[in-house]
Amino acid sequence: MNFITSKKSLVMALSSALLLTACGGGSDSGSSSNKSTDKDSNSSPNTSNTPETVNPTVPNDTSTTSKPTTSQSSEPTTSPEPSDTVATSPVLKSEVDMKDVESKSHKGAAQVGSNLLNTQRQACGLGGVADNDELNKIATQHAQYIQHVFSNSRPTIFNAHGEEEISDIKNWTGKNNPFFTGVSFKDRLLKAGYSNLAYGVVENISRVTYYSSAGKVASPDYAAHSMTKSLLAAPYHMRLLVMPNLSQTGSGMIAYKPYGKAADKSQSYVFVNASSADQKTEKRTVKGLFTYPCTDVVDTNTALYNEFPSPVAGTGRNLGTDPIGQPIYINMPSAKSIKISNIKFRDVKRNINVPVDLLDYSNDPHKRTAYELPKNEAFILPLTDSLQSCETGRRKGKNCGLYGNSEYQVSFDVLVDNKTQESKQITFTTGEVNY
């Protein structure tokens, strides 16, 4: 995902490799681990995610694997109607000199990511997430573990949610890593004695490397903002981050120099977010149907470049070269099943319809795996092959997903439990084009 600046020469020289992972522990709502292959910083952005789930845990519980689900309880409820909060988190200083970015923990940038998640959730009536010092520490320590690995080695395969020893880089992994706290996410939560562990915790991770021959780079704040938006554009991350019962959040943001790359031209960041329910919100759900994005959400990503498992598996599409637009997540917790039809995805400014695919239980390419979608959830995937949405650089005039800074109106019908039908319409606005 490229950092966009007004200087065209910088845009052409700046590229990044982005990896995203989603994980949850101690919950019936989600857990995942990730094995990702880091691409060269001049390659297409890479998003990697391997979710798996565990049941609710307490310190002495041995849990079994299950798929991510949201609570089906009907009480308490929150309305999925938009709030007055505008879902954006503006960052005033987007570009800085690379030499001025210190290799350390950037607490302010981490807060930018947490704040954006909070405002996006509030805008969609899903309940905000309060800053939690315990989760901040847990997220930061794991971000430090990851940066220690990638600032000292270049692993070919790496589980972003695990801290196990890896044979070919054992000097930097496992207990040899000074930031080691536990092999699994659950182990780390137990070691920290996290007070809300029994109510469900999810972890999402983004790692990005920027390259700039001009020595300019995204500021830590801007990078955290962009990385959080990317997590909210990847279906298997998004559905964990917008679970209605989440109430607490904490993030860690670490800047570091990537191993084997020119220190004056390369800058890496790793962002880790951990969010949880608590005793009061463990069974909180929503009344009726909710979506993300929802009406009045602004500044979303324009494109999804990669995710594992791939939401377009089996179609032959290479997201790295032919991305899709910002997906629309649909969830109706009170229903046993939903069927989506009559989808219209309209570009308001250009007065054109964007073709779509529907990802739901009926055509789920990952059925009978840990990634299987429940019957009451679905994703609308905008197919942007014919759009010339890239605005600058070597990809100008090619497919960069939806157009930037543009309003999209999405409408569809929902058949609930094969009995009743209702209609839904949302309008959201993209941010700058992400490359």
Digit-coded pLDDT (tens) for 201-233: 999 999 999 999 999 999 999 999 999 999 999
pLDDT of residue 91: 67
Q: Mean pLDDT of all residues in the chain? A: 84
Token pair belonging to 68: 């991510």
pLDDT of residue 371: 82
Between 30 and 360, the higher pLDDT residue:
360
pLDDT of residue 39: 31
Residue-wise pLDDT for 236-269, tens only, equals 999 999 999 999 999 999 999 999 999 999 999 9
In this structure, are residues 411 and 424 in contact, taking their beta carbons and an 8 Å threshold? yes
pLDDT at 82 over 50: no
Token pair belonging to 99: 């030499």
Looking at the whole model, is its pTM more than 0.95?
Answer: no
In this structure, are residues 223 and 208 in contact, taking their beta carbons and an 8 Å threshold? yes
Please give the C-alpha separations between residue 163 and each of 4, 154, 159, 215, 386, in angstroms, as whole numbers: 33, 16, 8, 33, 42
How would residue 75 be classed by pLDDT, with cut points 50, 70 and 90? Answer: very low
pLDDT at 136 over 90: yes
Residue-wise pLDDT for 402-432, tens only, equals 999 999 999 999 999 999 999 999 999 999 9
How far is it, in rounded angstroms, from Cα 386 to Cα 355?
9
pLDDT of residue 296: 87
The mean per-residue pLDDT over the stretch 157-182 comes to: 96
In this structure, are residues 250 and 135 in contact, taking their beta carbons and an 8 Å threshold? yes
